[in-house]
Amino acid sequence: MRRQKLQRGLHNSCTAPEPRRESWVGERRASLGRSEAVFLCGWGRRSLPGSSLLVQFPEVKGASHPPASAMDVFNRNIDFNALFKFSHISASTQQHLKRVYASFALCMFVAATGAYINVVTHLLRFSLLSGLGSLALLIWLMATPHSRETEQKRLGILAGFAFLTGANLCPLLEMCIVINPSIIPTAFLGTAVIFSCFSLSALYARRRSFLYLGGFLLSGLFLMLLFSLINVFVGSTWLFTANLYLGLMVMCGFVLFDTQLIIEKAESGDKDYIWHCVDLFLDFINIFRELMMLLGMNEVSPCPAQAGPCDEAPGHWPSSAQQAHGPGALRWAAASTHRACCAGPSVWPHPSRSPLETS
């Protein structure tokens, strides 16, 4: 009797959404008290006008079984292999992405090595020369065509570019070490989480669904440049901080955009995984830089009341020798923190300057 009531209710509510289609099958659920049933409603080409075919679903609970309890939700089997299946991406493109992310891992290792060596040994004291060197290697990499004959050569150029890029982070890393050494691992872990989440979002999303962001991201870069130029004359802490947050959002958007752009280029035949790796590597480095600066600014603000007046005489600052050795380094750290706190972004070290060169 209970099953007949369920079937009558389904028969009355089972209507095809598109009557013009030749065939249609839809699922309908019905419940009566503590019982439930799932049926398939189908319309075929040979069906009479206005009639419907009611068939019970073969692999579901019948009307005599009670519904599952709330605790059964935690007993479901999860297929973790399905998390890494990208059916909307061709097999050749998936192989291309593996090469891209393998090259990206190589870049991260080489960049970390370059940053560590430069922080410990100060091998590259002239940041301007190392910056120009990384730019020259990037242009050389772009000018070298991608082929099997030049693959090893281009990988070497990529490694050199990653090394100099990591070495260029030395001034900012040293400033974070002076303020609070925990800033560096916190910023790195945050960057890794942000990069992974946005990359997976781009990989799981429908193809070309984030390519429209290109125009907005370029506009954001233009606004960042405009704010930086204005802040040279204004010296506003608020504008400087807003520019950092805007840069962080823009770089996160570029992770989405570049990942899907790499997929589309690979689908169209562009298999230059080395150059595609450069896009993702620069996105990661820029996010890491923005997070370090934001965390560093949060550490040095607000200005402590016991730090003294902000217009302290320049003669009270430690000399270069005192900054590099002994307790003078601690005095320089406290003075730098207080000065950055009171004066705002005008004294925050530029990535091209070492904090030990700050007078």
Tokens coding 64: 């005599």
Burial 203-227 (b: 16+ CB within 10 A, else e): beeeeeebeebeeebeebeeebeeb
Categorize the per-residue pLDDT at 49 as very low, low, confident or very high, splitting at 50, 70 and 90. Answer: very low
pLDDT value at residue 99: 93
**Cα dist from 239 to 28, 168, 246, 249, whole Å:** 57, 25, 10, 15
In contact, 348 and 293? CB cutoff 8 Å: yes
pLDDT value at residue 73: 52
53-57, 67-71, 123-127, range with greatest mean pLDDT? 123-127
In the block, tokens 């005599």 appear at 64
pLDDT value at residue 352: 39
User: For 20-42, what is the mean pLDDT?
Assistant: 48
pLDDT value at residue 306: 42
Cα three-residue angle 264-217-206, rounded to 5 degrees: 35
User: For 160-172, what is the mean pLDDT?
Assistant: 92
- In 236-351, DSSP assigns E strands to none
In contact, 354 and 174? CB cutoff 8 Å: yes
Q: What DSSP letter does each residue of 102-123 carry, written as one string? A: HHHHHHHHHHHHHHHHHHHH--
Categorize the per-residue pLDDT at 80 as very low, low, confident or very high, splitting at 50, 70 and 90. Answer: low
User: For 5-12, what is the mean pLDDT?
Assistant: 49
**CA–CA gap between residue 185 and residue 122 (Å, rounded):** 21
**CA–CA gap between residue 198 and residue 194 (Å, rounded):** 6
**CA–CA gap between residue 269 and residue 142 (Å, rounded):** 18
Tokens coding 219: 């506009």
**Cα dist from 167 to 115, 163, 174, 187, whole Å:** 4, 6, 11, 17
